[in-house]
Amino acid sequence: MRFQHLCGRFTLRTSAAAAALIILSAVYLYAQMYRTSSSPHVVAPAVYPMYDTLLAFGDSITQFGSNPRINGFVGELASYYSRRMDVLNRGISGYNTRQALAVVDQVFPKTVLPRKHITSKILEPLGRWPHRDDTFPGTAKGPRLCLIFFGANDASLPFARQHIPLDEFSDNLRQMVTSLHDPSSVYYSPDTHILLITPPPVGDRMWEKDCKKHKIRVDRKNAVTKTYADAVKMVAKESGLPYVDLWTAIEFMVHNNRTDSAPTSSSTQDNEYKTADSKETAKSNGTATDSPEDGYKEYLSDGLHLNAKGNKLLFYLIVGKIRSNWPYLNP
């Protein structure tokens, strides 16, 4: 009986030791996972070894930028960077900056796994197909260059559902920049260069005709869009980032009767654009067209979106900024 009693005690102790060992192993593994995922300064290894990426994040103007029928600027960049960078189009038609921030988690690659990812990795399949909308599942290297191109929808008049107040618009842009450049962000990518792009001008007469055609209220004005373009430039200057002033570029072309879509290198500099606010001034030089609508038709398809010449102009402006700010990114 004593022998059986001793064997029983030995078995219990062995089982307890095995259970304790299993628990300690689980704690150790969890600690290793947590240490990698929770520290904002530890960048997890990329799941996908690949080319550097150029990520274009914007609204419908960006989404349509892959359309070859209108020389889409994103498609032009993809051709320009063939075998040098993978160009990703993350333009979402109809989106303003508030909606864009809501899907940043599905657009910007995660360089660090957040703490919640450890459990959600198990539970996520129960809610939806895992990573269905993500740019990359797991972690990946941040984009080498990110174009942020919003404002055309935010600048809608206050009664429109897409309208975003000017102050909020500026804050939303700052949050996008911070998402990539803040060490505490799960998207932190210090090697990512950011280029902000202002919305293009609105061809008021063209847009009014398009709205009447679709029997909707006129919800955009060029004068209002200019204030949002100015906000983009202000955020860029505050953040020490370069920007493409597309609003001023098209205004300069329209009011100076320029129809060439590839400006000279000197004209791509923002301080050398001359915005012709006065039609009379342009007329005195003999350069203005009789109808501003005709001028905007050179670059806009409906008074809001870019046509082939507008896309070509934007492509040249982007390439010019890349060459002047990051020549090592020029293929």
For the chain, residues with pLDDT lower than 70 are 1-15, 17-18, 27, 29-50, 113-138, 257-294
DSSP structure class, residue 240: T
Please tell me the pTM assigned to this model. Answer: 0.75
Q: How far apart are CA 221 and CA 322, in angstroms?
A: 31
Strand locations in the chain, DSSP E? 52-58, 85-91, 145-149, 193-197, 243-244
Task: Tell me the domains of the chain and their CATH numbers.
Answer: 44-329 (3.40.50.1110)
pLDDT of residue 288: 42
DSSP structure class, residue 213: H
214-250 burial, b if ≥16 CB within 10 A, otherwise e? eeeebbbebebbbebbbbbbebbeeeebbbbbbbbbb
pLDDT of residue 14: 67
Q: What is the pLDDT of residues 194-215, one digit of tens each?
A: 999 999 999 999 999 999 999 9
pLDDT of residue 268: 42
